[in-house]
A and B are shown apart, each in its own frame.
Chain A
Amino acid sequence: MRVPILRLGRVLLTSLPADLTDQQVMDLQIDALALIQSGKADGLVIDITAADVVDSYMARILSETAKMVKIMGGVAVLAGMQPAVALTLVEMGRDMIDMETAFDLEGGVAKVVRLVASRGGRHDEVPTT
């Protein structure tokens, strides 16, 4: 099953399931990039509240997706990291995740809007923050 992507204004939202497969990752990346490329969205918020761990496999997927979105001219923000996840990532080693983060979905959306605006990107929507 594909991981669903919701659209809130010009921001895409997606929630990663606990047992994400390689195929789902590829589909998600393709879907998100297509929406950004078509000009329907400026960025992507990836919610990891449901993911039960962030291991190096997941970390690579997240950073790689963020990089792809960036290359397409968009912004990607990671949201919903649980405290235990953050502590574990720090213990394992720095720099495992190379992307913007926000506390929750709402913060993630605000951050995308803010980053797009500050970058002098698309101005077809008034930032809400």
Chain B
Amino acid sequence: MIPEPDVVSVRVTTEIDVAEARQEARKLALRHGFGTVRAHGLATAVSELAMNLVLHSARGGLIRLTVQDAPEAAVIELVSEDDGPGIPDLGLAMEDGYSTRGGLGCGLPGTRRLVDAFAITSCVGAGTRIVCLVRRP
């Protein structure tokens, strides 16, 4: 029998939602047997993507976490989705130090280094979608 995936979604428009999203992410990881450092890494990745929704997408967006858990291995899929302005140059956005809002410009490249798999698609005027995978063990 295939178990039902564990899913958490948080609609993000303010910094308060960002805090909720990363706390939910940590709890989710811990209840599926991820270690504290892994859980912390996931919470940080969620914080980065959620903060981007607040700062760069006019109407915010959605953070969704889905866990596929089996005794020997588990994977958490993190999806950030918005219908904001989109990113014109993805190569540039993934570079360390590139920010259009006076930030450090470490959010996207840092998140890519934190997770096991990272994919980003964006369409100017339509929005941005980012998918990350974090595995246990």
A contact residues vs B (CB 8 Å cutoff): 18-22, 52-57, 59-60, 82-85, 87-88, 91-93, 96
Contacts and interface: CB of A to CB of B under 8 A. Distances in A.
Contacts of B23: 18, 52
Interface of B: 15-16, 18-19, 22-23, 26, 36-37, 39-41, 43-44, 47-48, 51, 96, 103-107, 109-111, 113-114
Which of B51, B103, B104, B107 has its CB near the most chain A CB atoms (within 10 A)? B104
Contacts of A22: 15
Contacts of B105: 56
A84 B37 contact: yes
A91 B107 contact: no
Given A19-B19, A84-B40, A56 B103 contact: yes
A90 to B, nearest CB: 10
A8 to B, nearest CB: 29
